[in-house]
Amino acid sequence: MTIKELYDSVAELGFETELESERLNGFILAANRAIVQINRIRPATSIYKLNHFPLVNKLSESTYEPVCKDDEALIFSTDGAKSYFFECNGNGIATIEKSTDFGETWETLAAVELVSEKGQFEKYRGLILDGDKPYLGLVRIKFSGDYIYWVQNVAMYGSLLSADPESVPAFSKYISYDIASLTDDFVSFVCPPITDAQRDKGFILNTDYFVEGASKILIPASIKGVYDVVYNRQNKQLSLNDDMEETNIDLDSELCCLMPNLVASYIWADDEPTKAEYYLTLYNAQVAEIMAKEKSLKPVVYRNKTGW
């Protein structure tokens, strides 16, 4: 349904044949209000293709849990790392070092001052460079200092996303993606946002992955793949600048049929409340018919006592 088709349908319900500019503005406002209301019946959805391919951490030991740097220096080493990431809670020094003789002696490439004023884990990341080029031999991160502190999520990556140190990804058991920041029409997640069918053995919400807050989804770093994240999206709103004969209402065809009565009820609300109530009654009857049909079409799921 185009804006012009909607306007003609509303006009047939007793509205003026021709609209003055200020009345046309009221019509557009009423149409936008109706789009939002009707979309609640069957929310519009969209899919975000989430490419989940975290960089591989070259460190063999697990660093998800905090490790204490007490009296002795804390050391993580590997071969061929091009960048690093870690979190630290405390004050000290992290030294990036290289060895050209299989670990007999070490030479400093960079030193990172560790400062945590509020007692929280701070994030640190950077490139491992020998001068202005990556060093491809044996490297290590040496945590030292006069005080006790903790480090966690230590990673040394053998690949780079770019030459920008800020592009070095964080390392954690779960990777967080803010879908609202990755899209321009996000409203809320469909439940579940990732369907079980996308993985052979199922990918279950609150078991295999999690939702955090209103728009973040957390996926295990250990499971790579492309995931369809389904979310409720915003409907495109109408404006006076739209081509009335070419611009379509952003609802499916069945829901568009509800628009004329609801828009007419909004328009007549002040001048003809009785007429407005009549059109609202017709609208509610249409909604009830759609809801009854959808209820009858939903498949019945049977489960036996063992749960299948």
Can you tell me the mean pLDDT for 211-223?
94
* Cα–Cα distance, 101 to 138 (Å, whole number): 9
Taking 50 as the threshold, does the pLDDT of residue 229 lie above it?
A: yes
Report pLDDT for 305: 42
- Angle, CA 159 vertex, CA 167 and CA 110 arms, to 5°: 70
Is the pLDDT score of 219 beyond 80?
yes
Name residues whose C-beta falls within 8 Å of residue 250's C-beta, 6 or more positions apart in sequence.
Answer: 35, 44, 235, 236
Mean per-residue pLDDT of the chain = 90
The residue length of the chain stands at 308
Kindly report whether the peptide bond that precedes residue 192 is cis, defined as omega within 30 degrees of 0: yes
Q: Are 155 and 84 in contact (CB under 8 A)?
A: yes
Residue 200: pLDDT over 80: no
Q: Are 264 and 10 in contact (CB under 8 A)?
A: yes
CA-to-CA dists, residue 27 to 24, 37, 192, 270, 302, angstroms: 5, 15, 37, 13, 48
- The one-letter amino acid code at 149 reads Y
Is pLDDT at 56 greater than 70 in this prediction? yes
Q: What is the pLDDT of residues 72-116, one digit of tens each?
A: 999 999 999 999 999 999 999 999 999 999 999 999 999 999 999
pLDDT band of residue 16 (cuts 50, 70, 90) is low
Average pLDDT over residues 160-189: 95
* Nearest to 255, CA basis, from 38, 40, 45: 38
Q: Looking at residue 2, what is its pLDDT?
A: 96
Place of tokens 């490439």: 109
Cα–Cα distance between 177 and 228 in angstroms, integer? 13
Q: Residue 21: what pLDDT?
A: 58
For the residues 286-296, what does the mean pLDDT come to? 90
